[in-house]
Structure 1
Amino acid sequence: MICADLGKQLESYIQRLVDAGRYGSTSEVLREGVRLIQDRETKLAALDASIVRGIADVDAGRAKPAGEIFDRLEAKYRAVTTRTES
């Protein structure tokens, strides 16, 4: 069993959540908090993996310069705007 000193502010907040009926106990509040941290850490790990893959793609030459992509998109949307204005 984990025993932690959360400080008056957090303990008071947790108690207000329980008193309001949002949670049945302080343990439920803490479990939910840990689950949220787990979810965030999972998402951060996925983001980190995506960044690593992206850097590897750039290093391997499997990427285009951002300016080239933006120029192409600007031309595409300029053409669409011109057609709709005609």
Structure 2
Amino acid sequence: MARQSITFTDPNDAWLNDQVNTKEYASKSELVNDLVRQARKQQAQIDWLKIKLEKAENKGFTTETREQILAQSKSSFNG
């Protein structure tokens, strides 16, 4: 595991401390790692949507309903 030294602004440091003090996380490191995991997952979802939109733009119209597209999107994000 890589060890890093980072600096936080006062408001961000206070927020991190609050999260640790409320026992939501055991340490700032655990919290920051969780935030990075969430950001990576969110970026993967954004990348997936960009690919789908690009394919759709290149392909043209679809016969799928809005509900079918939404269900497929949710399935991909949760899987």
With the length of structure 1 as denominator, give the TM-score of the two structures: 0.65
Q: What is the alpha-carbon distance in structure 2 between the residues aligned to residue 48 and residue 33 of structure 1?
A: 22
CA deviations on 1:57-81 (whole Å, 9 max, x unpaired) are 12xxxx27xxxxxxxxxxxxxxxxx
Q: CA RMSD in A?
A: 1.2
SS at match of 1:34: helix
Aligned position for 2:56? 54
Aligned-residue sequence identity (percent) comes to 13
Whichever residue aligns with residue 15 of structure 2, its letter is Y
Which has a greater percent of helix?
Answer: 1
From the CA coordinates, give the structure whose radius of gyration is larger. Answer: 1
Aligned pairs (5 A) from 1:29-68: 29-58=31-60, 63=61
Displacement after TM superposition at 1:6 (Å): 1.6
In the alignment, structure 2 segments of 5+ residues that lack a partner are: 63-79
> Would you say 1:15 and 2:17 are equivalent positions?
yes
> Would you say 1:2 and 2:13 are equivalent positions?
no
With the length of structure 2 as denominator, give the TM-score of the two structures: 0.71
Displacement after TM superposition at 1:11 (Å): 0.6
Q: What is the alpha-carbon distance in structure 1 between the residues aligned to residue 38 and residue 26 of structure 2?
A: 18
In the alignment, structure 1 segments of 5+ residues that lack a partner are: 65-86
**4+ residue runs of structure 1 moved beyond 4 angstroms?**
none
